[in-house]
Amino acid sequence: MLRYTHIYLLIYRLVMAFAWLLVFALAIDSIGKNLIVIIVIGVGSLGIFIFLLRTFDWLPTFLYIRLTLSTKVSPSEADKLSFLFDGSLNGKWHPLLEIGELKPESRREALFQFAKRVAMEGGK
C-alpha cells in the first residue's frame, strides 16, 4: 500500500518506484534472463532505490513548504521539518495551510515555532 500525506510525497514515491522498475526491466532485458542474474539485479537495484529514496526524502517536504505554504526553507531545514508533513507521527500530519496566509516574513518563524512545539510535546 502506498501511503502519502500530500501530492508531492505521492509523486515522489511514484516516480521513484517507476524509476526502479524501469532500471530493473532495462537491466534484465540487456543482460539476460538467467534467474541468478535477475535476482542479483533485483536486489542490487532495490538497494540503490532505497538509498536514493532515503537520500532525497527531504524533497517532497521541501516542495510542500515552498510551493503550498509559500515559505522559503533550505533542503536541510525541510529535512528537519519533514516529521510534520510525512505522516511519521503515528499517521498524523500537520498540513499547516494557515502558514501560507501569514505575511511572508512571518511564515518561516511560525513554521519553526510550531515544529518546536510539536517536538517538545513528544511528537518527534
Residue 62: name the closest of 8, 99, 117 by CA. 8
Using CA atoms, how far residue 37 sits from 22, 25, 47, 79, 121, in Å, is 16, 12, 15, 36, 50
pTM: 0.79
Pair 48, 63 in one domain: no
- Average pLDDT value for residue range 100-107: 91
pLDDT score for 17: 87
Query: What pLDDT, in 10s, does the model give residues 47-75?
Result: 888 898 889 989 999 999 999 999 999 99
3-state secondary structure of 33: coil
Residue 50 shares a structural domain with residue 85: no
Residues 6+ apart with CB under 8 A from 61: 8, 9, 78, 79, 81, 82, 84, 85, 86
Residues 113 and 75 grouped into a single domain: yes
Same domain assignment for residues 50 and 82: no
Is there a domain that residue 2 lies in?
no
Same domain assignment for residues 67 and 104: yes
Q: Which residues pair with 89 in a beta bridge?
A: 92
Domains: count for the chain: 2
Q: Is the pLDDT at 14 greater than 70, yes or no?
A: yes
The span from the CA of 121 to the CA of 92, in Å, is: 14
pLDDT of residue 64: 94
Residues 64 and 109 in one domain: yes
pLDDT at 29: 80
- The stretch 85-101 carries a mean pLDDT of 81
Instruction: Quickly state the pLDDT bin for 38 (edges 50, 70, 90).
Output: confident
**What mean pLDDT is reported for the chain?**
87
Together in a domain, 35 and 71:
no
Q: What is the pLDDT of residue 124?
A: 56
Average pLDDT of span 73-94: 86
Q: Is residue 35 part of a domain?
A: yes
In a domain, 1, yes or no: no
Q: Which domain holds residue 39?
A: 7-55
pLDDT of 123 reads: 56
With respect to residue 67, please indicate whether it lies within any of the assigned structural domains: yes
Q: 58 vs 93, which has greater pLDDT?
A: 58
**67 and 40 belong to one structural domain:** no
Q: Vertex 60, ends 25 and 102: CA angle to 5°?
A: 165
